[in-house]
């Protein structure tokens, strides 16, 4: 097991990670699951931690469309109904939806109870469970209501990935590729030369989290360096919104891969590096069609990072390095 110390909590990765946390100090325990994590992950968790068998199980419906205030209300009602006091703990067992929403529900219930993250998708293991961004979608806008708060611990157990669908695994890989491209040329070279069917998840997730953890520790509230994590996400979010509005949503990581390919063209790296990255992505991952610029322009011009009417990109300055606040008008794209 690897332990990565973060701001005020530990991120534990690997075989012994689930037993690393002391649950005995809490008056009440609840485990938040969705239908898939209840079926595939809860049994595995309880084998390792039989002492959690008496926990309250709060089950929500899976999917991004349920990451909203009414699901939160229901979580708060369940906690209230079972007399959860301020010394209680919420255990978020699931992907980024469970982690973001469970963390938000816990942090606001009775002005805040403790929570831990037990991520079960590659995206949540390698990215979402770290960094303290919590929240729900509101009024048609993603993550519109939320806050920053760290969990008491993040316990990452890669064995959960064995039941994850291939497209979800691919989606999580996009954030790992992004972390390598913006901050670690060695990791990029390793990814570029390793067979995707033969990945050592524990090692790759640990290295990916270490890179994110370093960036967010230096800039927890996204004043400067943390903006590097937006590489691939300006075009990526516009493409994600386009497909959402068409009611044919695509996965976050699929949009990020398309966003990386488009933002490479704006980056100040060599033509050879651009084609190396593009070939890696296109030969390993089946991606949806990339909409033309005219179809996504309205989302780009409404991006919340825009400054003085210009679109704000984080771009590669070389592989393993990223520059922030690169401004382009829509006509320059
Ligand atoms: N807080 C952050 O920093 C951050 C960063 C990136 C993304 N996010 C958020 O994360 C969310 C996306 O997360 P996600 O991709 O994990 O999606 P998700 O939570 O919807 O999970 C994807 C699907 O996989 C299922 N699932 C989860 N674990 C499983 C397992 N082990 N076996 C089988 N099925 C399993 C889920 O039930 C769901 O159907 C978005 O809401 C996004 O905004 C947050």
Closest CA to 174 of 70, 69, 261: 261
pLDDT at position 141 is 74
pLDDT at position 197 is 75
Q: How far is CA 12 from CA 3, 4, 29, 228, 250, in A?
A: 5, 6, 20, 24, 30
Q: 272 C-alpha vs ligand 1 centroid, how far in Å? A: 34
Q: Which domains are present in the chain? A: 2-163 (3.40.50.1970), 166-332 (1.20.1090.10)
Determine if ligand 1 sits within 6 Å of the CB of residue 41: yes
Q: 169 C-alpha vs ligand 1 centroid, how far in Å? A: 10
How far is it, in rounded angstroms, from Cα 209 to Cα 201? 12
Residue listed under structure tokens 């960094």: 131
Report which DSSP code applies to 55. S
pLDDT at position 220 is 85
Helices (H), the chain: 35-40, 42-48, 69-81, 96-108, 122-123, 166-183, 185-193, 201-218, 233-245, 252-266, 271-284, 293-301
Closest CA to ligand 1's atom 34: 164
pLDDT digits (tens, 9 = 90+) for 12-70: 999 899 999 999 999 999 999 999 999 999 999 999 999 999 999 999 999 988 999 99
Q: pLDDT band for position 285 (50/70/90)? A: very high
Determine if ligand 1 sits within 6 Å of the CB of residue 67: yes
Is this structure's pTM higher than 0.85?
A: yes
Average pLDDT for the chain: 94
pLDDT digits (tens, 9 = 90+) for 191-250: 999 877 778 999 999 999 999 999 999 998 888 999 999 999 999 999 998 998 888 889
pLDDT at position 143 is 83
Q: Which atom of ligand 1 is nearest to the CA of 163?
A: 32
């Amino acid at each position: 097991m690897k332990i990565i110390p973060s701001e005020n909590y530990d991120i534990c990765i690997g075989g012994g990670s689930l037993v690393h946390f002391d649950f005995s100090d809490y008056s009440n325990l609840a485990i938040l699951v969705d239908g898939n994590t209840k079926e595939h992950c809860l049994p595995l968790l309880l084998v390792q931690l039989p002492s959690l068998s008496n926990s309250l199980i709060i089950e929500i419906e899976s999917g991004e469309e349920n990451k909203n205030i009414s699901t939160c209300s229901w979580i708060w009602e369940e906690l209230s109904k079972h007399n959860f006091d301020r010394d209680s703990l919420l255990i978020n067992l699931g992907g980024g939806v469970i982690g973001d929403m469970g963390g938000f529900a816990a942090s606001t219930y009775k002005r805040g109870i403790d929570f831990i993250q037990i991520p079960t998708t590659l995206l949540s293991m390698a990215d979402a469970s770290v960094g303290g961004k919590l929240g729900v979608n509101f009024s048609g806008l993603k993550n519109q209501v939320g806050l920053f708060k760290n969990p008491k611990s993040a316990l990452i157990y890669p064995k959960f990935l064995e039941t994850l669908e291939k497209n979800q695994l691919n989606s999580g890989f996009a954030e790992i590729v992004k972390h390598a491209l913006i901050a670690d040329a060695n990791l990029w070279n390793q990814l570029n030369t390793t067979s995707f069917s033969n990945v050592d998840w524990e090692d790759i997730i640990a290295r990916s989290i270490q890179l994110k953890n370093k960036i967010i520790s230096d800039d927890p509230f996204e004043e400067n360096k943390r903006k590097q994590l937006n590489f691939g996400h300006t075009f990526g979010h516009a493409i994600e919104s386009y497909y959402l509005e068409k009611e044919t949503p695509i996965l976050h990581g699929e949009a990020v891969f398309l966003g990386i390919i488009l933002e490479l063209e704006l980056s100040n790296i060599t033509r050879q590096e651009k084609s190396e990255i593009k070939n890696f992505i296109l030969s390993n991952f089946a991606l949806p069609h990339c909409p033309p610029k005219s179809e996504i322009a309205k989302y780009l011009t409404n991006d919340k990072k825009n400054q003085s009417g210009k679109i704000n990109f984080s771009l590669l300055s070389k592989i393993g390095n990223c520059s922030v606040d690169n401004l382009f008008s829509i006509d320059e794209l």
